[in-house]
Amino acid sequence: MKVHLKNLNLAELESFLFSLEEKRFRFAQVTRWLYGRGARSFEEMNNLGKEFRRKLGEKARISRLEPGEIHTSADGTRKYRFVLEDGEAIESVLLPERDHWTLCLSTQVGCSLGCKFCLTGKRGFSLNLTPAEIIDQILAVRPSLPPGKIIRNLVFMGMGEPLLNLENLQQALEIIRSPSGLQFSYRHITVSTAGLIPQMEKLFRYRHFGQLAVSLNASTDGQRSELMPINRKYPLKDLLSACHRLPLANRDKITFEYTLIGGVNDSVEDALRVARMLKEIRAKINLIPFNEHSASPWKRPAEEDVARFRQVLMDRGYTAVIRQSKGKDILAACGQLGGRANSG
């Protein structure tokens, strides 16, 4: 069986290349082709000798993802559907910003957590993505960018719970951040979680992995357990205590994501409870009006209720941002991945 190069960590890759030809500079050449230029074959690596390319072709392979479908929203958001080697499918979302792009990445096929407001969870869990399948989402989307634009931000908020695929996620992050890999700053990487305490603590032992976002979505245990079954295992008191203990860098804050559902968790009383529960934590809050889909009976809150909720938090000193979800018309917004969209 051929060695899958993008599933090797950087130390393993260097050792493998040295075993084929005892020249240390081959590592820099090959990683530049794999991650800098996104080479799809060894023949493209034209500054490597023919004999070395032949050895690589005999012993190793280069993975790739090709979008089976691309849907484009009226607001410029693009949703890419990729079919994996085993026939399963994942989705990634490219979000337009003023002078750059943000890419929302998947880490699993489906999700096992069953959050009631999330369409992805309706399909259940199939499998964890490999490091290569995580990285290849970036490499597959990058060539489609308009001239002069770059992917500046990566958010692990697509299909799946990233911390349930922690080992593969950490290996992918090593390559994403490394000067020998994709060269992203950790300040431009965000990993989202539903609040898996042991995995959160383990993630923070991996220094400078990125920024942490925690899906809060409720102001009481009763609410949160109804919306997010994981709360029965890790209730709010334990989750918030763990967040308080996490060793944040000096300027860092934890982002708490709060999906506002009309008539469910969007009252002034909810906002006041959120303000109280986060007072000991270096926190900022992203408010996400619920994105409606056919699998849920819930509704998007009224704009005045969203604004009122935000004002309560701001009056108490929090940075609170209303996140305007993009790509709703192609089921590319938060909580909508895994649904079927009309082609665009």
- Positions annotated as catalytic residues are 91, 334
Pick from 264, 269, 257: nearest CA to 308? 269
- Enumerate residues 6+ apart whose C-beta is below 8 A from 85: 63
**Looking at 195-263, which runs of residues are DSSP E strands?**
211-215, 254-260
Please classify residue 167 by burial: count the beta carbons closer than 10 Å to its beta carbon, then call 0-12 exposed, 13-18 middle and 19+ buried: exposed
CB atoms under 10 Å from CB of 202, counted, come to: 14
Neighbours of 316 (CB within 10 A): 15
* Angstrom distances, CA of residue 138 to CA of 1, 151, 155, 157, 188: 26, 9, 11, 14, 14
Sheet of strand 211-215: strand arrangement: 67-72, 78-83, 89-96, 101-104, 151-156, 189-193, 211-215, 254-260, 283-289, 319-322
Residues 6+ away with beta carbon under 8 Å from 50: none
For residues 268 and 176, give the distance between their C-alpha atoms in angstroms, rounded to a whole number: 41
- CB 155 within 8 Å of CB 137: no
